[in-house]
Amino acid sequence: MEILKPDASGIFVPAQFAAKAIQEAIEAEVPLIVSVAEHIPVHDMLRVQEILQTQSKSRLVGPNCPGIIAPGRCRIGIMPYKQYMPGCVGIVSKSGTVSYEAVGATTNAGLGQSLVIGVGGDMLPGTTLADGLRILLKDPQTKGIVVLGEIGGTAELVAAKVVLEEHNRNSEDGGTKKPIVGLVTGVTAPRNKTMGHAGAFLGPLDVSAEEKKSAFEQAGIVVLPHPGDTGRVMKKLLEERGLI
């Protein structure tokens, strides 16, 4: 009997068992693994990261994330899928809730989404903002990109560097063909307080939201004040470039 290997696996188990389930999926060489569990112990994720770095067969999205969705084709996660619509905008986000707002805005603008990747806000994500950007930059169905960051960590700075060095300098038209808009939440967040249930924490030595926004702007990302502006601004940019 032929044994069929899965293309993807959704990890819907409690946090204390999630790392073991992820490890089993990696050992089975499942190409895409999505883990939505919150509060996986950091020590467990350090072990998962070590395993991920020793192989090239599997990609992990999450943990502590809504998942990944290609509207009309596939959904692995917990996002409210009815507001999603097949389209041309790719979204990569640390915040699940903010991504929902951006999705709603791009759907209302008639643009829809090609691929939405919720990478999660944990310190040790399987897929980073930069990883998600690289996927969307290469995706032929994605005409415009939305990158959504927040306080905590330095993932936004790395993402800005990817846009600056790998997109703007290497694209045939100087990086203007596939517009990128972005947002960084937590501008008014006080230091030394965890915001929400994710890894959004602004410590005394952490990079502020304003510094992250500045890095986005320097990379040529159009920074938005609110996720509700995503659809309107992206539609204008796509029309100016003759992409829609």
Contacts of 148 (CB under 8 A, 6+ apart): 91, 92, 93, 94, 95, 98, 99, 102, 182, 183, 185, 227
- Any catalytic annotation for residue 43? no
Given 39, 43, 167, 197, the catalytic residue: 197
Pairing of strands 32-35, 59-61: parallel
Helices (H), the chain: 15-27, 42-52, 96-108, 129-138, 155-162, 209-218, 230-240
User: Which residues is 181 bridged to in the sheet?
Assistant: 146, 222
Paired strand residues for 11 = 35
62 touches 117 (CB < 8 A): no
Locate the DSSP E strands across 42-129.
Answer: 59-61, 67-70, 74-77, 86-93, 113-118
- Nearest by Cα to 102 from 66, 146, 141, 70: 146
3-state secondary structure of 145: strand
Residue with tokens 């044994």: 3
- Residues with catalytic annotation? 197
